[in-house]
Structure 1
Amino acid sequence: MKKLTLALAAALSMSSVQAADYVIDSKGAHASINFKIQHLGYSWLTGRFNDFEGTFSYDDEKPSDANIMVNITTDSIDSNHAERDKHLKGDDFLDVDIYPSAKFVSTKIVEKGDGMMDVMGDFTFHGVTKPITINAKKIGEGKDPWGGYRAGFMGTTVIALKDFGIDYDLGPASQTVELELHVEGVKQ
Structure 2
Amino acid sequence: MTKAIWALDAVHSSVDFSVRHMMIANVKGTFNSFNATIEADPTDLTTANIEFSVETSSVDTRNKDRDGHLVSADFFDAENYPTMTFKATSFEKTDDGEYNVSGDFTLHGITKQETFTVTFEGQGKDPWGNEKVGFSAEGSINRSDYGLVWNAALETGGVLVGDKVKISLQIQAAKA
Task: Give the structure-1-normalised TM-score.
Answer: 0.86
- In structure 1, the residue matched to 2:156 is none
| Structure showing greater relative contact order (alpha-carbon pairs closer than 8 Å, 6 or more residues apart) | 2
Structure 2: any 5+ residue segments left out of the alignment?
A: 153-158
Return the letter of the residue paired with 1:178.
K
The residue that corresponds to 1:25 in the other structure is 9
Unaligned runs of 5+ in 1: 1-16
What are the within-5 Å matches in structure 2 for residues 20-169 of structure 1? 20-26=4-10, 29-60=11-42, 62-169=44-151
Percent identity, aligned pairs only, is 33
Residue pair 2:9, 2:173 contacting (<8 A) in 1 also: yes
1:63 Cα deviation from its structure 2 partner: 2.1
Contact 2:44 2:97 in 1 (8 A): no
Cα 1:173–1:92 shift into 2, 3 Å: closer
Deviation at 1:80, TM superposition (A): 0.3
Give the conservation status (yes or no) of the 8 Å contact 2:138–2:166.
Answer: yes
Give the Cα–Cα distance (whole angstroms) in 2 for the partners of residues 61 and 48 of structure 1.
28
The amino acid of 1:46's aligned partner reads K
1:41 Cα offset (Å) = 0.6
Paired position in structure 2 for 1:11: none
- Paired position in structure 2 for 1:176: 164
The structure with more strand, counted as a fraction of residues:
2
CA RMSD of aligned residues (A): 1.4
Structure 1 residue 114 displacement after superposition: 2.0
Partner amino acid, structure 2, of 1:115: G
Larger Rg: 1 or 2?
A: 1
The 2-side partners of 1:144 and 1:96 are apart by 36
Q: CA deviation at 1:173?
A: 6.9
After TM superposition, the score normalised by the length of structure 2 is 0.92
Question: How many residues are aligned here?
Answer: 170
Which residue in the other structure is 2:174 paired with?
186
Counterpart CA distance in 2 for 1:83 and 1:43 is 19
Q: Give the superposition deviation at 1:62.
A: 3.4
Q: Which runs of 4+ in 1 moved over 3 A?
A: none
